[in-house]
Amino acid sequence: MMLMVQDLRVTFPLDGKTGLRAVDGVSFDLAPGASLGIVGETGAGKTTIARALLGLHPPGCVQGSIRLDGRELVGLSEEAWRAIRWRRIALVPQSVGTALDPVYRVGDQIAEPLRYHLGLSPAEAWDRSLELARRVGLEPRHLRAYPHQLSGGEKQRALLAMALSCAPDILVLDEPTSGQDMLSRARLLDLLDALCREGGMGLLVISHDLAAVARLTERVAVLYAGQLVEVGPTAEVFQDPRHPYTWGLLHAYPDMSTARDLRGIRGAPPDPANPPPGCRFHPRCTQAIDRCRREEPPLREIGGRWIACHLGGLQTLLRAEGLRKTFFVDGGEPEERVEAVREATLDIREGEVVALVGETGSGKTTLGQMLVGLLPPNGGRVVLEGRELTAAKGKERRAMMSRIQLIPQDPFDAVSPRLTVAEMVREPLDIQAIGTPEEREAKVRQALQTVGLPTSSDFLARRAHELSGGQLQRVVLARALVLEPKLIVADEPVSMLDPSEQARVINLLKEIQTERGLALLLISHDLALVRKIADRILVMHRGQIVEEGPGNRIVTRPEHEHTRVLLEAAPRLG
Amino acid sequence: MRRLGGEVWFGLILLALCSAVAVLAPVLAPYDPRAFSGQPLERPSRAHPLGTNDVGQDILSELIYGARVSLTVALAAGAGTVLLGLLVGGMAGYAGGWLDQALMRLVDGMLSLPRLPLLILFATFLGSGLPQTIAVISFLFWPTTARVVRAQVQSVRQRGYVRMARQFGASHPYVFLRHILPAIGPLIAYGLVTSAGHAVAMEAGLAFLGLGDPLVKSWGLMMRFALNLPGLFLTDRWLWWLLPPALCVTLLILALALMGIGLEQNLNPRLARRWR
Amino acid sequence: MGVGRRAFVYLLTFWVILTLNFLLPRLLPGDPLAALLDPSSSDYVYDPQVRAALAAYYGLDRPLPEQYGRYLLGILTGDLGRSIRLNRPVAELVVGHLPWTLLLVGTALLFSSALALLAGTESAWRRGSWADRGLVSASILLANVPVYFAGMMLLLLFGARLRWLPLAGGRTPFARYPSALAAALDIGRHLILPALTLTLAMLGAKFLLVRNATVNVLGEDFMLVARAKGLPEGRLKWGHALRNALLPFVAHLAAHAGMAVTGAVFIETLFSYPGMGRLIFESVTARDYPVIQGAFLVVSAVVLTANFLADIINLHLDPRLREGGAVG
């Protein structure tokens, strides 16, 4: 093992006693010729790690261990570091525009480490820098130029040539693609890719550019608030993120192959001077439990992946196995039965938006009703948060059912025409006997505010017929929210609304889902609509789930015949 | 407002002390500084704590009244400098374009001239009254302030809220008074203090060189008379005649400079970190 | 801006000075030049020979444009008028005094610059340390103490109290030197105190400038990269940090030259040093207008030349100021 970083902690002194811990207990290693990406948001501590590897932090700030071929680097004197820097570990810095000394020729700056580290004469060093320049695609005239005469891309190449000058064992690239336009970025990635293949050199890519990391590295480590939350092979991590943060990060990253709207991770990264106790991600995590608030999760290996999560990564919220439902035609023969749902198996993870798409009569509504427990299945089982819903009885069943809420297709059918708005929304609380009347009142108002409805006493006293379809659907949504469910199953929630109201309600649904960290199962016949918000799409046809996959894949490369039919049928303008 | 540093307090206290002496001069001074209250060149005594000068005037009284001269110059020349600098710098920064270019060339030219010889030339021909001295100092020192004011005005003018105000239809005077002036307010205070310091040094220097108002006994003029005495340094007479006015001038300049540094740090927190 | 354009700007500035020098006495109420020839004035020149020379030189009875033409022509041929007090050509007096000032100012500029660059860089390198804080405080003090005050103190200490060094003059009066070395030693001994005073007077401001410029450079990204490259400390400190801090330093040399001249006037007066400052002082006392004007012109020309040289040096130091944009 060439580079071994163990429990690296970097603390910067602030005013007073407390320090700012920018990197807190990070461990990773890098074999000769291997490549590792470190991804994370701005302020996660990426650059701090890069600088620590070159010993650029003030003495005393860095704790833990950085071993290079077994030799401990932390605590080395400035003099000893000098021998490591550039010869063993070299850096391509992030700030391309200001990283070159404005008063020296570019070539002299490339030659500078050659002269000091390898003891070359000025002429030899210049010849070597010419050779380096050729490797990165610069011409001799670029070496004779001063930094201000080069473009950003040329400076980036010059910095790369400079980093390669002493043939380092490890090359650290700090945001190699930031500030570059897409074309020069693509050329740079080609160049870096080629250089790395030439062999021998360990590569550490630090970036928030996930595509660049995917292109350049074999393994990736995800950094959040100074701590690693997930480490694994790059392709696998990006394909199948396990940590809730990785999952959110990937969903926030724009990608040409996605049709879905971008979604952010709710909340904001913590203040590094004052991180939350327990797991640092818990305030933003949709599946946080009490333990996450108290204990810091260690990074441990779960199925070939290193994950720092008490729950072992993203949780399956609801799992349905082999659900069956058969309806018998009234008074008919046993042959005249309708197999509405046949052997349906699916799962929904925490905070995920899953769309169940199919045409009318495909059984999707029946499946939805079985999932929420409104309809008993003929076979199979539904497991919610590890407990079997289909087998639960009495109080336990009531409590479990309050975790899932259904938004039905027809809001007029879903509410009693005799109840006022306040009574409608309060009904679940009354049924479950939660809280005092005042608390219920407060919850009702809060839920109505969340869905963007007025809370005036006049409005609260209205009845269903006095509301528009959109308003009523919001009331139903508010009613679903008062029980603070983990999963909302929305069955064609907007099909009865006019188009502009449709868009508003869908956006509202998505917004509430993100902010509250709910999972959402959206049942719809309309692929055009669901692909805007769905992370995953299930296609149902004649009672069976015929295709399942990430939203973008389903929309761009459908595999099942019927999916193609549905796509063809999706509305198009012009 | 950041916490004031020790140096600023030191400056403020010195300045307050000097102002008190200037205001209370008639009460504090034992004699009329122009009266021949003793024998020429008396040594310090109970009657004349700092002795007398070559014509028998009380040196302590001269020193006390001298504070008035220095502070007058500080106030008047400081204000004159800042006013001129504000006018030219504000105009250049706000108007931009050719006017800015022309005014800044003028500033560059004036800054590249040797100031004292120019000052001497002006003082020689304009006469050596106190008002002339103040006018000449103001006239020669405004370019520094103008340059700083221009830079600040230029940066404020580029701000979104100023451009928005213009879009709302605000007039130039409105924008200048409502947005620009408050933004350069702290700069004006800083300019005033530093210019005042330069003015005190220059006035004393001119008087020292014989270009001061011969009728206004300033600290500079006291030094000149003391130095004119042949063999001043051969006895210890310089100790009570030359040293006190020189010390007073130096302390006043230092007080103003320290306040300037404090104000500068308030203006620019990044600078504060540089100093500490 | 190229060298040619800069030279033009300086020539233009010098022309403005020339014109100012011409107009100032002539446009003022009471016309101080006419007073020299007016028997009823207190400034009346009694020596008929000098009076005739002055009348011829100023040509006050001729129209203003002709006076201006003759004035410019005179300057071009090195004719700066005639001293009333000494009855000698001003140009001759300048030639006698200018070398002393150049020696004094040059020595002080050299020493103060070298010291400021060394100490300023070191202080910035160790910013926040006790040595740095001490130097900064001392420099603030030094930069604000009037030069005549500092001069007096040095004069008293080394000249009058300790009697180590001569009190006044540029060399021992009426001395005959057996060798050039002896002459140089004598001149050097007389130079020490005035040059020390002027060095100290400039050191404060220069030190603060270098230190703050270097602190700014140390925060630049390329300094971090230079460190990451594993360069030795000397190369970082002098090759990169100081090398970049030199740019603002040289840019301020112009202002420092003016400052040095101001200081020289006071110091020469104080130490009776036979330079231009002393000449100006004596002429001011005697209201010897031609000398004041001539000295002013010469000093201005010297300072402007110094500025011009500083500009050219900076052009060589900073590639960004040079003509020619991107390559290729």
Q: Answer whether residue A94 is part of any domain.
A: no
pLDDT value at residue B2: 46
DSSP letter (8 states) at residue A90 = E
Same domain flag for A190 and A162: no
Q: Cα–Cα distance between C139 and C120 in angstroms, integer?
A: 10
Q: How confident is the model at residue C327 (pLDDT cuts 50, 70, 90)?
A: very low
Q: Answer whether residue A574 is part of any domain.
A: yes
Residue of C nearest to A100 (CA): C222
E-assigned strand segments in A14-101: 19-30, 35-39, 62-68, 71-72, 89-92
Decide: B110 and B143 in contact? Cβ < 8 Å: yes
Q: Cα–Cα distance between A143 and A130 in angstroms, integer?
A: 8
E-assigned strand segments in chain C: none
Its ipTM equals 0.81
Of C248, C266, C261, C227, whose CA–CA distance to C116 is shortest? C248
- Tell whether C234 is within 8 A of chain A (Cβ): no
Q: What is the largest CA-CA distance in chain A?
A: 101
Tokens of B102: 């022309």
Decide: C273 and C104 in contact? Cβ < 8 Å: yes
Same domain flag for A301 and A327: no
Decide: A393 and A417 in contact? Cβ < 8 Å: no
Beta-carbon neighbour count of residue A338 at 10 Å? 14
- Tell whether B214 is within 8 A of chain C (Cβ): no
Chain A residues touching residue C243 (CB < 8 angstroms):
101, 103
For helices C253-271 and C147-154, angle between their N-to-C axes, nearest 10 degrees: 50
Q: Cα–Cα distance between A523 and A537 in angstroms, integer?
A: 10
| Residues counted in chain A | 574
Residue of B nearest to C308 (CA): B112
- Tell whether C212 is within 8 A of chain B (Cβ): yes
Same domain flag for A231 and A330: no
- Tell whether B74 is within 8 A of chain C (Cβ): no
* Test the C interface: residue of B119, B125, B195, B206 with most C CBs within 10 Å: B125
Which amino acid is present at C111?
Answer: F
Per-residue pLDDT, averaged over C237-243, amounts to 94
* 8 Å CB contact of A93 and C235: no
| Start-to-end Cα distance in chain B | 18
* Shortest distance, CA B193 to any CA of chain C (angstroms): 13
Chain C residues touching residue A145 (CB < 8 angstroms):
326-327
Using the 3D structure, point to which of A269, A287, A307 is the last residue of a domain. A307
Of C278, C267, C303, whose CA–CA distance to C93 is shortest? C278
Chain A residues touching residue C232 (CB < 8 angstroms):
82, 116
SS (H, E, C) A485-528: CCEEEEECCCCCCCHHHHHHHHHHHHHHHHHHCCEEEEEECCHH
Residue of A nearest to C241 (CA): A101
Of A464, A473, A557, whose CA–CA distance to A509 is shortest? A473
Q: Answer whether residue A95 is part of any domain.
A: no
pLDDT value at residue A261: 60
Q: Cα–Cα distance between A106 and A117 in angstroms, integer?
A: 18
**For C97-321, CATH number?**
1.10.3720.10
Using the 3D structure, point to which of A279, A307, A335 is the last residue of a domain. A307
Query: Which residue(s) pair with A219 in the sheet?
Result: A36, A233
Same domain flag for A417 and A478: yes
* Shortest distance, CA A190 to any CA of chain C (angstroms): 24
Q: Answer whether residue A538 is part of any domain.
A: yes
DSSP letter (8 states) at residue A343 = E
Decide: B156 and B176 in contact? Cβ < 8 Å: no
Q: Cα–Cα distance between A332 and A347 in angstroms, integer?
A: 35
* Test the C interface: residue of B116, B148, B203 with most C CBs within 10 Å: B116
* Shortest distance, CA C211 to any CA of chain B (angstroms): 9
* 8 Å CB contact of A91 and C228: yes
- Tell whether C219 is within 8 A of chain A (Cβ): no
Residue of A nearest to C317 (CA): A103
Domains contained in chain B, CATH given? 6-275 (1.10.3720.10)
Same domain flag for A480 and A497: no
Please state the pTM of the whole predicted model.
0.80
Tokens of A318: 């609801």
Of A228, A84, A67, A90, whose CA–CA distance to A172 is shortest? A90
Question: Using one digit for the tens of pLDDT, what is the confidence trace for C128-153?
Answer: 889 998 999 899 888 888 888 888 88
| Chains C and A are touching, with contact defined as 3 or more CB–CB pairs separated by less than 8 Å | yes
- Is the model's pLDDT at C201 over the cut of 70? yes
Q: Cα–Cα distance between A162 and A176 in angstroms, integer?
A: 14
Q: Answer whether residue A96 is part of any domain.
A: no
Per-residue pLDDT, averaged over B246-270, amounts to 81
Subunits with 3+ Cβ pairs within 8 Å of B are: C
Chain C residues touching residue A84 (CB < 8 angstroms):
230
CATH number of the domain to which A388 belongs: 3.40.50.300
* Test the C interface: residue of B101, B107, B110, B124 with most C CBs within 10 Å: B124
Subunits with 3+ Cβ pairs within 8 Å of C are: A, B
* Shortest distance, CA B118 to any CA of chain C (angstroms): 7
* 8 Å CB contact of C303 and B112: yes
Same domain flag for A243 and A279: yes
Same domain flag for A59 and A114: no
Strand pairing category for A89-92 and A170-174: parallel
Which amino acid is present at B108?
Answer: D
* 8 Å CB contact of B275 and C24: no
- Tell whether C270 is within 8 A of chain B (Cβ): yes
| Structural domain boundaries enclosing A146 | 101-167
Q: Answer whether residue A298 is part of any domain.
A: yes
Same domain flag for A507 and A385: yes
Tokens of A324: 């069956």
Same domain flag for A514 and A375: yes
DSSP letter (8 states) at residue C169 = S
Cα atoms in the Cβ-side hemisphere of radius 13 Å centred on A450: 24
Residue of B nearest to C154 (CA): B233
Per-residue pLDDT tens, chain A, 574 aa: give them: 589 999 999 988 876 556 788 898 899 999 988 899 999 888 888 899 999 999 999 888 899 999 999 899 998 998 999 989 999 999 999 888 889 999 999 999 999 999 999 989 999 999 999 999 998 889 999 999 999 999 888 898 899 999 999 889 999 999 888 777 777 788 888 888 888 777 678 899 998 888 889 988 999 999 998 999 999 999 999 888 889 899 888 877 766 555 556 566 777 788 877 888 888 888 888 788 888 888 889 888 887 889 898 888 888 888 888 888 888 776 656 667 788 888 889 989 888 889 999 888 888 888 988 888 888 888 888 888 888 887 888 788 888 888 888 888 888 888 888 888 988 888 888 887 788 888 888 889 988 888 888 888 888 888 888 888 888 888 988 988 888 888 999 988 888 788 888 888 888 888 888 888 788 999 988 888 888 888 889 999 888 889 988 877 888 888 888 888 888 877 776 5
Same domain flag for A201 and A285: yes
pLDDT value at residue C254: 75
Of C1, C92, C2, C18, whose CA–CA distance to C304 is shortest? C18
Q: Report C:217-236 residues touching B (Cβ under 8 A).
A: none
Q: Cα–Cα distance between C92 and C280 in angstroms, integer?
A: 14
pLDDT value at residue A128: 92
Decide: C143 and C259 in contact? Cβ < 8 Å: no
Which amino acid is present at B242?
Answer: L
Distances A203 to A34, A157, A206 between C-alpha atoms, Å: 6, 16, 10
Place of tokens 């603070």: A484
* 8 Å CB contact of C28 and B126: yes
DSSP letter (8 states) at residue B229 = S
Place of tokens 């996930």: A210
Chain C residues touching residue A86 (CB < 8 angstroms):
228-230
Of A18, A26, A514, whose CA–CA distance to A225 is shortest? A26
Domain count, chain A: 4
Chain C residues touching residue B126 (CB < 8 angstroms):
28
Q: Cα–Cα distance between A210 and A214 in angstroms, integer?
A: 6
* Phi and psi at residue A415, to the nearest 5°: -125, 155
Cα atoms in the Cβ-side hemisphere of radius 13 Å centred on A554: 28
Q: Answer whether residue A93 is part of any domain.
A: no
Domain boundaries, chain C: 20-76, 97-321
Question: Using one digit for the tens of pLDDT, what is the confidence trace for C34-85?
Answer: 777 777 777 777 778 777 777 777 777 788 888 888 888 888 888 888 888 8
* Phi and psi at residue A251, to the nearest 5°: -75, -15
Same domain flag for A293 and A351: no
Q: Answer whether residue A460 is part of any domain.
A: yes
Sheet holding A35-39, edge to edge: A89-92, A170-174, A202-207, A35-39, A219-224, A227-233, A305-307, A300-302
Q: Cα–Cα distance between A366 and A166 in angstroms, integer?
A: 68
Using the 3D structure, point to which of A435, A450, A484 is the last residue of a domain. A484
Same domain flag for A157 and A195: no
